[in-house]
Structure 1
Amino acid sequence: MRNGIACAGNWIVDIVHSIDAWPQKSDLVRIRHEVAGVGGGAANVALDLAAFQTGLPLYAVGLIGRDTHAQLCLDACAAAGVDTRWLKQTADHPTAHTQVMNVPGDSRTFFYHPGANDALAETDIPIEAIAATNAKIFYLGYPNLLATLDAVEPGGATPAARLLARARAAGMITCVDLVSAATPQFAETVAAIMPQTDYLFLNEIEAARATNRSEIAPNDRARLLEAATALQTQGAKIVILHTGSLALWLGETALWSIPDPVDPAEILSPVGAGDAFCAGVIYGVHQDWPAGQALKLGHRAAAAALKSVTASEGIPPLAALL
């Protein structure tokens, strides 16, 4: 029986600024609160899974610099018990970081410096060594924010697609988590990795971009299902599409799930809520839970994330979520 989850991809330090409202151009707005925390798909999912306190082996995989932001990532992993043997450091690039402008109860906007994430290469991720630990799941987040791995080659292949194929060949389940980045080759990059993806996680914005569709409303079940079906046709085995108000699990059949409502007064920041949902569902996948049970844990983890400013600090132990 395989056991454990390797979380590869984006490692970012988020500096979250809470502001009253988004300013007009050239205007000034006061920062009411500021906090720094580790973010990015791989980081958030690894630290959220660690916060569940289940004892599951967790592996950090990625590339960071040799700077104060890198130390923040390493310290967070050490405190959470996440294995960092494959979280490589480089002196050639700074650790990726993001200035997050958060309007509580409304929206957040990201100013992103890619740093080492854009330099992360296929050779930095020793798939076979990771599989040799007996890890069950190989998670990759986020395609379209990993420039070297995203590079579309003649014939349509990408280094990310090869990594996922190797992970599968080594006996691991592949989970891919998309990001709402408006990159020119978004759909092409996603199409390259779909045939090697067991579980695809994305929201309505990413679903539209990945399938070259116009904007999809968060509650438009017909168009959400249409986009998910298109991605499944491209090769993804199971598509898990989540919005702020519902989730779709598309396998052999379609299963819809509605989260419990969250009091708007309790919402401090939506930063990390999508990754918390992903972590909850991935834990359910690891444990071979039914789809509905995995989605419920995902919803509850996302709700917990909404009640804190940084991506992972509000995630409680699994027992509290269950």
Structure 2
Amino acid sequence: MDVITFGETMVLFTPVTAGPLRFTSHFQKTIGGAESNVAIALSRLGHKVGWTSRLGKDEFGTYIRNYIRGEGVDTTGVVFDHSRPTGVFFKEQRPGKEPNILYYRKGSAASRMTPSDIPEAQIKEAKFLHLTGITPALSESCKETVHHAISIAKQNGVKVIFDPNLRLKLWSAEEAREALVPIVAQCDYILPGLEEGSILTGKTEPEDIASFFLENGSSFVVVKLGEKGAYFASEAEEAHVPGFPVTEIVDPIGAGDGFAAGFLSGLLRNWPVKEAVALGNKVGAYALSVAGDAEGYPNWEQIIKEKADAEVLR
């Protein structure tokens, strides 16, 4: 196993037309979840990856499990809950603005995850454990589960990569700081966006955000800067890596998860970290060009072909 991840994935309903949901009658159904996005993107890039969660024992839960499994992701650790439903959410399309996200996830099966739901054997054999700040925001038991997973990884020499992925609809900025800063201190790689890095650290510049996390226990920090690319820092080196131009942004959701997958793919291939960050930028850019969370992620053949075409044009 290259990477193991866990967290809540919900059924996503996206209207076929833009505008207020009260005027919408037709929706497209797919799935959405930061951790499963990363798992799917990594699988397409040729890696062995596992995703687990707690899903309702209902049609939506089966749909999510089958969808992710169909992408080549190991879902054997998934637990089906007979008493709690699978969460759902809606994406209200607003032309010229980011979509408005409406969650219906309170009391969901995933919010009842406990340490006993975690496949310890998969964590022990993985090279990386991937986590996000969404999971600890769901409930106290979910937060305990994250700490438990990190403990298992640390005991077995598994590197932990953490994306804060702040969701201020789930908790306040103060609650997020109180819960996430101690988690970050236990993780090896941190991937904050500029805004969420500022919320967690009180700093505004990427260099200062990275310094805060490095001084608090992390080994490597990448601050995502959107169209400007990313800034990374460790004790050994630091650099800005430019982003990839995107002619038309259809849907910004899922780009950060694509970055995490591309960056992890570079690390798994033992690339220099600057090249791994560049691959993260590239995979994240793919997500912007189509509607949906995971639909735009490339496969490895696409990456190789574009790289070969670029060499020819030089």
Q: Does TM-score exceed 0.5, indicating one fold?
A: yes
| Structure 2 CA distance for partners of 1:121 and 1:150, relative to 1, 3 Å | closer
Overall identity of the aligned pairs, in %: 24
1:274-308 CA distance string (max 9 Å, x none): 11111111111222211121112111111111111
Q: Distance between the aligned counterparts of 2:135 and 2:234, measured in 1?
A: 22
Q: Distance between the aligned counterparts of 1:31 and 1:272, measured in 2?
A: 23
Structure 2: any 5+ residue segments left out of the alignment? 305-314
1:150-194 CA distance string (max 9 Å, x none): 55xxxxxx5423321221212211111222322231011112212
Q: Distance between the aligned counterparts of 1:249 and 1:238, measured in 2?
A: 7
1:63 aligns with 2:46: no
Please tell me the root mean square deviation across aligned C-alpha atoms, in Å. 2.2
Per the alignment, in what secondary structure is the counterpart of residue 83 of structure 1?
coil
Paired residues of 2:137 and 2:176 also in contact (CA < 8 A): no
Paired residues of 2:2 and 2:127 also in contact (CA < 8 A): yes
Q: Which structure shows the bigger proportion of residues in helix conformation? A: 2
Whichever residue aligns with residue 196 of structure 2, its letter is: E
Runs of 4+ off more than 6 Å:
none
Q: Distance between the aligned counterparts of 1:7 and 1:159, measured in 2?
A: 12
Whichever residue aligns with residue 146 of structure 1, its letter is: L
1:146 aligns with 2:133: no
Cα drift, residue 259 of structure 1: 1.0
Paired residues of 1:304 and 1:314 also in contact (CA < 8 A): yes
Which position in structure 2 is the counterpart of 1:15? 13
Q: Distance between the aligned counterparts of 1:171 and 1:95, measured in 2?
A: 33
Cα drift, residue 18 of structure 1: 5.6
Which position in structure 1 is the counterpart of 2:119? 126
Paired residues of 2:246 and 2:289 also in contact (CA < 8 A): no
In the alignment, which of 164, 168, 171 is matched to residue 178 of structure 1? 164
Q: Which structure shows the bigger proportion of residues in strand conformation? A: 1
Report the TM-score when normalising by structure 1. 0.84
Paired residues of 1:20 and 1:30 also in contact (CA < 8 A): no
In the alignment, which of 224, 227, 231 is matched to residue 248 of structure 1? 231
Whichever residue aligns with residue 254 of structure 1, its letter is: E
Which position in structure 1 is the counterpart of 2:281? 299
Whichever residue aligns with residue 241 of structure 2, its letter is: S
Per the alignment, in what secondary structure is the counterpart of residue 93 of structure 2?
strand
1:209 aligns with 2:199: yes
1:103 aligns with 2:94: yes
Whichever residue aligns with residue 58 of structure 2, its letter is: D
Whichever residue aligns with residue 184 of structure 2, its letter is: M
Which position in structure 1 is the counterpart of 2:103? 112
| Structure 2 CA distance for partners of 1:59 and 1:145, relative to 1, 3 Å | same
Structure 1: any 5+ residue segments left out of the alignment? 152-157, 217-222
Report the TM-score when normalising by structure 2. 0.86
Paired residues of 2:191 and 2:221 also in contact (CA < 8 A): yes
Q: Distance between the aligned counterparts of 1:77 and 1:277, measured in 2?
A: 19
